[in-house]
A = this chain, B = another copy of it.
Amino acid sequence: ISIIYSMLYPDIADLLPAKNGEEPTMQFLLEVVEILTNYVKKTFDRSTKVLDFHHPHQLLEGMEGFNLELSEQPESLEQILVDCRDTLKYGVRTGHPRFFNQLSTGLDIVGLAGEWLTSTANTNMFTYEIAPVFVLMEQLTLKKMREIVGWPDGEGDGIFSPGGAISNMYSVMIARYKFFPEVKTKGMTAAPRLILFTSEHSHYSIKKASAALGLGTENLILLKTDERGRVIPADLEAKVIEAKQKGSVPLFVNATAGTTVYGAFDPINEIADICEKYNIWLHVDGAWGGGLLMSRKHRHKLSGVERANSVTWNPHKMMGVPLQCSAILVRERGLLQGCNSMCAGYLFQPDKQYDVTYDTGDKAIQCGRHVDIFKFWLMWKAKGTVGFEQHIDKCLDLSAYLYNKIKNREGYEMVFDGEPQHTNVCFWYFPPSLRSIPNGEESRERLHKVAPKIKAMMMESGTTMVGYQPQGEKVNFFRMVISNPAATMSDIDFLIEEIERLGQDL
């Protein structure tokens, strides 16, 4: 029977552009869509596991009928459909209401539709010529984001980049270009020793940028934070003065709006005062916290952001946009272009029939650039500004619920005191056997192993996922974050029950 069926089933050679390829193409695509829509349905169903964990060697050895190896000869389209099903089966449901592992969670249906359309359009952002609609959407959306940041009339510049790390890298490049434009042609020898400043709690991408761009990680000075993980402005000023005394040039300060682990917001206004006083570029890394600008209730946490020279803001995190969607916004027009343009004649011809200032490619460090804007634009249309606000307020309410639930609960200890500024709730769980042990090296060592063990058991049982890490002197703790619109209070309750269930005998 299977032989007959596979004789009837279309082959890859039957698909478009083959002659009479329409019908087999539609049949194949609709079967793929059925696999995908079933996956979507199950993702939102709490009785489905978040993941079906296997070790690398298990998947590499091949799971019944799922073979990752590539071969000389084509597979049948039926096998391709099986491969699609298996790929999803052994993956992780990042849209599941109980997936809390990363800053990017959730599966927005309109955003998903937007990505499907983007893939179907399969074009490139570098010129208006081949992406007219997307280029304009990007321009309008960036302007809207700059208005929300608070720059007059949304003036300025910006671009969508492949993630927050690249957006942050842009900010350092642009700052360097603003103060030492000759570095573009002559290299770093044309500049004095340049110093960057960022919080010890900030994202590692600032450090990656300092290495990549030729500044050197030793010239990135880490700033002290208070117990909540916020930069201490006096420490910044002291270190700026120290750098100047050593003959270096303070170039760039990164203030984080929503740190990765604590969700802390650096005091932007106080940092901006120092940047103005010493003529230093102020970047705000709002990759994680930028979304709070959409909320009238929470945007005060980014007070002063309008004083920044550049801002990173990732809609793919707190705003629930599918990956990837990250913007770098720049207050001064012309810097992005000046910093990156190389005027490639084959792509950016000046003698086109349309207004070529709409060609964006020469502003980018990329050449081809994926269309990241459409899903975001479509979600904005569908939800309205108010819809993003509701989503953000709801996530922050949920994290307040979690915080209030565990702050005095037996067996829990908060990593820092007070209500979290963002949705990050950081806590230790002490299994019963640890509760009676006095504080000390033994208890620290044992506690350090608790979160990894519980996390491993969670993954094996597939019930939920939450992140953990150490931070400075602090041993491993859980970092709960909520950006998933599907999560409810009952899912928070479930997480706590699950931690206690899995951890009780440790």
A381 to B347 Cα, complex, angstroms = 33
**Chain B residues closer than 8 Å to A347, beta-carbon distance:** 469
A170 to chain B, nearest CB (A): 9
Listed stretches A81-89, A224-232, A494-502; interface member: A81-89
**Chain B residues closer than 8 Å to A432, beta-carbon distance:** none
- Of the candidates B87, B260, B485, the one whose C-beta lies within 8 Å of that of A133 is B87
Name the residue on B nearest A164 (C-beta): B367
Listed stretches A22-30, A237-245, A270-278; interface member: A22-30
Question: A122-B112, A187-B218 known; A94 and B130 CB under 8 Å?
Answer: yes
Q: B-facing mask of A1-38, CB < 8 A → 1, else 0?
A: 00000000000100111000110011011101101110
Asked whether, in the complex, the Cβ of A30 is within 8 Å of the Cβ of B29, the reply is no
Name the residue on B nearest A23 (C-beta): B41
**Chain B residues closer than 8 Å to A141, beta-carbon distance:** 70
Q: Is A293 an interface residue (CB 8 A)?
A: no
Asked whether, in the complex, the Cβ of B121 is within 8 Å of the Cβ of A368, the reply is no
**Chain B residues closer than 8 Å to A128, beta-carbon distance:** 56
- Of the candidates B44, B117, B137, B346, the one whose C-beta lies within 8 Å of that of A36 is B117
**Chain B residues closer than 8 Å to A210, beta-carbon distance:** 187
Question: A17-B97, A75-B381 known; A92 and B129 CB under 8 Å?
Answer: yes
A144 to B72 Cα, complex, angstroms = 11
**Chain B residues closer than 8 Å to A15, beta-carbon distance:** 109-110
Asked whether, in the complex, the Cβ of B71 is within 8 Å of the Cβ of A384, the reply is yes
Asked whether, in the complex, the Cβ of B122 is within 8 Å of the Cβ of A345, the reply is no
Name the residue on B nearest A484 (C-beta): B17
Asked whether, in the complex, the Cβ of B123 is within 8 Å of the Cβ of A323, the reply is yes
A67 to chain B, nearest CB (A): 9
What are 12 sample pairs from A and B whose C-beta atoms fall under 8 A apart? A25-B40, A36-B120, A56-B128, A57-B355, A90-B132, A94-B122, A162-B370, A185-B217, A204-B343, A260-B346, A316-B368, A351-B476
A12 to B185 Cα, complex, angstroms = 51
A26 to chain B, nearest CB (A): 6
Give the 7 A-B CB pairs with smallest separation, nearest first. Answer: A214-B214, A187-B216, A115-B119, A188-B188, A17-B486, A353-B456, A162-B162
Q: Is A462 an interface residue (CB 8 A)?
A: no
Listed stretches A297-305, A372-380, A403-411, A414-422; interface member: A372-380
Asked whether, in the complex, the Cβ of B123 is within 8 Å of the Cβ of A479, the reply is no
Question: A44-B17, A119-B116, A188-B187 known; A479 and B346 CB under 8 Å?
Answer: yes
A79 to B459 Cα, complex, angstroms = 41
Q: Is A95 an interface residue (CB 8 A)?
A: yes
Q: Is A179 an interface residue (CB 8 A)?
A: no
A253 to B83 Cα, complex, angstroms = 41
Asked whether, in the complex, the Cβ of A121 is within 8 Å of the Cβ of B97, the reply is no
Asked whether, in the complex, the Cβ of B212 is within 8 Å of the Cβ of A131, the reply is no
Question: A90-B132, A130-B92 known; A215 and B218 CB under 8 Å?
Answer: no
**Chain B residues closer than 8 Å to A68, beta-carbon distance:** 133, 136-137, 140, 377
- Of the candidates B80, B162, B381, the one whose C-beta lies within 8 Å of that of A378 is B80
Q: Is A369 an interface residue (CB 8 A)?
A: yes
Asked whether, in the complex, the Cβ of B185 is within 8 Å of the Cβ of A189, the reply is no
**Chain B residues closer than 8 Å to A455, beta-carbon distance:** 352-353
A66 to chain B, nearest CB (A): 9
Asked whether, in the complex, the Cβ of B132 is within 8 Å of the Cβ of A216, the reply is no
Asked whether, in the complex, the Cβ of A73 is within 8 Å of the Cβ of B384, the reply is yes
Q: Is A186 an interface residue (CB 8 A)?
A: yes
> Known pairs A30-B33, A56-B128, A95-B122. 13 more at Cβ < 8 A?
A16-B40, A16-B44, A28-B113, A68-B137, A70-B144, A71-B381, A80-B382, A88-B120, A107-B122, A165-B365, A211-B339, A324-B368, A353-B460
A10 to chain B, nearest CB (A): 10
Asked whether, in the complex, the Cβ of B216 is within 8 Å of the Cβ of A383, the reply is no
A452 to B203 Cα, complex, angstroms = 46
Question: A32-B117, A110-B80, A212-B173 known; A189 and B193 CB under 8 Å?
Answer: yes
A259 to chain B, nearest CB (A): 10
Which residues of A in the span 156-184 have a Cβ within 8 Å of any Cβ on B? 162-166, 169, 173, 183-184
Asked whether, in the complex, the Cβ of A383 is within 8 Å of the Cβ of B12, the reply is yes
Q: B-facing mask of A315-347, CB < 8 A → 1, else 0?
A: 010000011101000000000000110111111
Q: Is A74 an interface residue (CB 8 A)?
A: yes
- Of the candidates B187, B352, B354, B385, the one whose C-beta lies within 8 Å of that of A71 is B385
Name the residue on B nearest A349 (C-beta): B469
Q: Is A219 an interface residue (CB 8 A)?
A: yes
A119 to B137 Cα, complex, angstroms = 20
Q: Is A39 an interface residue (CB 8 A)?
A: yes
